[in-house]
Structure 1
Amino acid sequence: MPTAIAVTSPDLVLPPTDRQTPTAAVLQPPEQQPLGDALSTAQLLLEQHGYVVVLYPANLPAAYERRLHTVRSLLESDRIALLRSELPPLALGVLVRQLRQLSVCDFSAGVVASAARLLSHYLYAGAVLGSVAKLDRVPVSLTSHAKSWVPGSQFAVLAAPSPALVRLGSGGSAPAGKAAKTGKGGADGGPRDVDQLPGPEFGTELLIARGQLTTDWPTATLAPAWQVAAVRECPLPAGSPDWWGTQRAVEFAAYLPDITVLYQLVSSVRREVCSWCGLDLIGDRCGFCSAAIAPPETHRRVAGALTRGTPT
């Protein structure tokens, strides 16, 4: 019985990459669904799947987040995991799809839930923006804020796994590469503008979602520099303009596409047993009860799991 994966927006349910990947349940906001119906929906998911892992963005409205916690509390269920993510919307959708892929493997619900933190570190999430004037989820230097008012300026911003920013200019041209010149940081404490966006050192595919900005930088410059195996496109998530602070954006995310590599990566981490709820998990925190594991687990990688070419 696969663990149920649930989300708070249909935009977070990306098309499956194979016939085995199940879909995700889409939970409704409180203004669209009475509490009684929300309880019935959650109870049905528990009856059908045993465990439910809910992923939702950090910018979810407060009333919606309270609804999620209220449902779990009223059901008195320790089989519902509520995972709040700081990832941008497109990358969060990719993470949701990866957990959907893992949910049909021979992993327990506790491992699937705690795998979300592990896999987040292997997502390279960013966007090309027409302005960073209202970008408040990634540190931006005062200089970049000033330059964003120059007509025709564009910026390539990396939000995860670590923040970086490249000013593209009116031509939408700037290098992207495997390493970045980060310097010592900006005067305001944020990351300095860099010469290149740091890219993954392992094989990935690139997903692009276009908003109200015209640029071919993600496909013409970023994809070759990051040596991605394929470039795919999807609609821009509804939450992206709010997350990035502008409608003029092209969001992108580089990710591990192969389920065999994902499986190998998760399998390479030593299993722990949560001392509070008793579930198996990986990493240093339980996804269901949020209890910390002491001492912190340092995951090890299987040799060859994230190298280019055919997985070993």
Structure 2
Amino acid sequence: MTRADLVLPPTDQQTPTAVALRPPDEQSLDDALAEMHLLQEQFGYVVVVHPATLETAYARRLHTVRAILESDRIALVESALPPLGIAVLARQLRQLSVCDFSAGVVAAAARLLAHYIHAGALLASVTRLDRVPVDLKTHARSWVPGSQFGVVTGPTPQLVRVGGDARLTGPEYATRLTLARGQLQSDWVTETLAPSWRVGGVQEAALPADSPGWWGTSRLVEFAAHLPDVSVIHQLVSSVRRERCNWCGMELIGDRCCFCGAPLTPRENRAVAAIGDGARPARRP
């Protein structure tokens, strides 16, 4: 991980922890190279999950380290999820890392699993929100004292005013909810959203440092509904066809290798179903 606060506590005794890399202003290039080399020697392969909004200097450092080491055992996995969603995704990959999957499949699973994370937040204002479309009427309502808004960025963007008739549409399969509280004092996520989504449990975590900037306000409660346990995640990943990268030989799912970046050939692309097709958790009864 690229931030220590994106490393969530494990949900069981089998889930390993993650290494939090340090940004360029906290670590020299020589130290970064030594650390990455040690991780490769210790674990064999390294999967670095980082946000799409990562600082340019930090992203450049990651690519520089991989290039200097001339390694095909380092995967840089970018995610457009909000900060708490990325933390949840990284924990799921940690769970998969101790299963019977190769490193290539674990890294490629990030793209698949992101489709099953309903990431959002309760916000006191949407005046600076640029992650989902916000119309002028909703912007105006942000100036009304006491207004609150429920937002979901994916899989389908949603925005509703809390207290109105509109509701956030949740997942159609069993999930758990992880939430992180900012400076907004509200129990709406636990008392209203969680029951309406019929989540199987709620876990609280510390708010990632990047969350206020990502959502445009510090007055928020961030949340992410996700697949409940490793057995479900394992079944989902196992249901997707696996291929072999033509360039580096890594096993993968999807249409691109996360370690060398090579796409599958056009013939293989036609043969492989799009990620998510035919790989759905069971709907609620």
User: Which bracket does the TM-score occupy, shorter chain normalised?
Assistant: over 0.9
The counterpart of 1:115, out of the listed 109, 113, 117, is: 109
Which residue of structure 2 aligns with residue 247 of structure 1? 218
State the 4+ residue runs in structure 1 displaced beyond 4 angstroms.
Answer: none
What secondary structure sits across from 1:54 in the alignment?
strand
Kept after mapping to 1: 8 A contact 2:190/2:202 = yes
With over 3 angstroms needed to count, the CA separation of the structure-2 counterparts of 1:225 and 1:256, relative to structure 1, is same
Task: Map 1:135-146 to 2 at 5 A.
Answer: 135-146=129-140
User: TM (normalized to structure 2)?
Assistant: 0.94
2:44 to 36, 50, 54: 50
Counterparts of 1:307 and 1:259, CA distance in 2: 17
Counterpart of 2:282? Answer: 306
Matched, 1:260 2:236: no
Specify the alignment match of 1:156 in structure 2. Answer: 150
Distance 1:35 1:70 in 2: 9
8 Å contact from structure 2 (residues 200, 228) kept in 1: no
Map 1:64-103 to 2 at 5 A: 64-103=58-97
Structure 2 counterpart SS, 1:127: strand
- Paired position in structure 2 for 1:167: 161
Letter in 1 for 2:94: R
Cα distance, 1:291 vs. partner? 2.1
C-alpha displacement at 1:307, in angstroms? 3.8
| Count of residue pairs brought into register by the alignment | 279
**Which one has a larger percent helix, Structure 1 or Structure 2?**
2
AA at the equivalent of 2:181: R
Q: Could you give the per-residue CA deviations for residues 212-241 of structure 1, whole angstroms, max 9, x where no partner exists? A: 001111111111110101111111111100
Residue 38 of structure 1 is matched in structure 2 by: 32
Contact 1:261 1:306 (C-alpha < 8 Å) held by counterparts? no
2: CA distance, partners of 1:145 / 1:286: 41
Q: Is the 8 A contact 1:126 1:157 kept in 2?
A: yes
CA contact (8 A) 2:132 2:159 kept: no
Q: Cα distance 1:284–1:174, how it changes in 2: closer, same or farther (>3 A)?
A: farther
Q: Where does structure 2 lack aligned partners over 5 or more consecutive residues?
A: none
Identity %: 63
Q: If the length of structure 1 is used for normalisation, what is the TM-score?
A: 0.86
2:123–2:219 Cα contact (<8 Å) kept: yes
- Map 1:230-245 to 2 at 5 A: 230-245=201-216
Q: Could you tell me how far apart the structure 2 residues matched to 1:277 and 1:33 are? A: 30
Please give the alpha-carbon distance, in whole angstroms, between the structure 2 residues aligned to 1:290 and 1:141: 38
Structural RMSD (CA): 1.5
Larger deviation: 260-269 or 273-282? 273-282
- 3-state SS in 2 of match to 1:25: coil
Determine the structure 1 residue equivalent to 2:183. 212
Match status 1:283 vs 2:283 = no
Shift of 1:271: 0.5
- When residues 31 and 148 of structure 1 are mapped into structure 2, their CA distance, relative to the original with a 3 A threshold, is same
Task: Indicate if the aligned counterparts of 1:156 and 1:166 stay in contact, CA closer than 8 A.
Answer: yes
Say whether 1:15 aligns with 2:9: yes
CA distance in 1, matches of 2:195, 2:164: 13
Task: Give 3-state SS (helix, strand or coil) of 1:236's partner.
Answer: coil
One-letter amino acid of the counterpart of residue 154, structure 1: Q
CA distance in 2, matches of 1:46, 1:122: 30
